[in-house]
Structure 1
Amino acid sequence: MSGDDKRVEEMLDYMKDAVLHPERHPEHWEDWLRAGRREFLLLNVIYYIQHYGGKEKGVSKEDIRALLNALLIVDDEIYVNIIKPNRPLEFTLRELIEDKLISQTSDGSFLVNPERVTEERLMYWKRIRGKLEKAWLIATGGDHHVYGRKA
């Protein structure tokens, strides 16, 4: 067997093992975990703006960007877990729509799917709600109470 054939065989064995035993290969499933975190953190952002930011009829991309920009000040770790160089905001919004976690209105705004997403079921909600509130206060210039129920 030539060196190239042996290398191909090793690669195929590795790929088979990675599929059959993913627990042995965290370097592959880590991206899946990060993708899930990215989606669910953005879902929390949209949920917060819709339910606590007074945007019950729809959350615009501008609303989302404003909160994300303020989130950079409040907690940059959350921001970098949502916005990635190779995964822009639009990409993650599209994923959330495909997963039927949000819908897009005729004017381009976004709404959380109430049949699939409730506050009790939101992953990360308890951990980041206070940070989202601080970021929204920054994004709206402190007029938080004008925008809906008090967070």
Structure 2
Amino acid sequence: MSEGAYLLERICSYSHEDGDCLVWDRYCNGHMPVINVDGAPRPVRRVVFGLAVGPIKPGHEVIHTCKTLKCVAPEHLEQITAAKRRTMMAALRNGRGQAPSQVRYMREKHGKLSIEKAREIRASDELGKVLAARFGVTPQLISLVRTGKSWAEPSPFAGLGAR
């Protein structure tokens, strides 16, 4: 068995299938799956991409294109420039530069609130500290929801484009 085939088999044995994703079960540095290759830690996605797709271009990084943070499935990997990855990460952190549907998805998937809870917060007369404790969020988020800076209701006139 070649070294590449052995390494892919080892990576598969350290992962489990979840739908069409291959989810890494071992050590991660943050959300980045890591494997020891020849005694040195290597990002699993780079190893898988190099073995399954081909060499990685200089100045490029390998990212996963699905919503599963620890996915290492070859069909869910893509190489992009480091600058593009930084731009994408900044957009994820602050919500700017993303499609509204992507922001909604991230909030619904990873956030503690939903639009129904935001409506309940806006309708409540309770103190922000009490609501924060009940919903498991910070009082600052309660304030942002109440002022409409976070979880704002979409306007029925949005997108009409008055001229």
TM value normalised by structure 2: 0.27
Flag the structure with higher helix content: 1
TM value normalised by structure 1: 0.29
Larger gyration radius, structure 1 or structure 2 = 2
Flag the structure with higher strand content: 2
Higher RCO, 1 or 2 (CA under 8 Å, sep at least 6)? Answer: 1
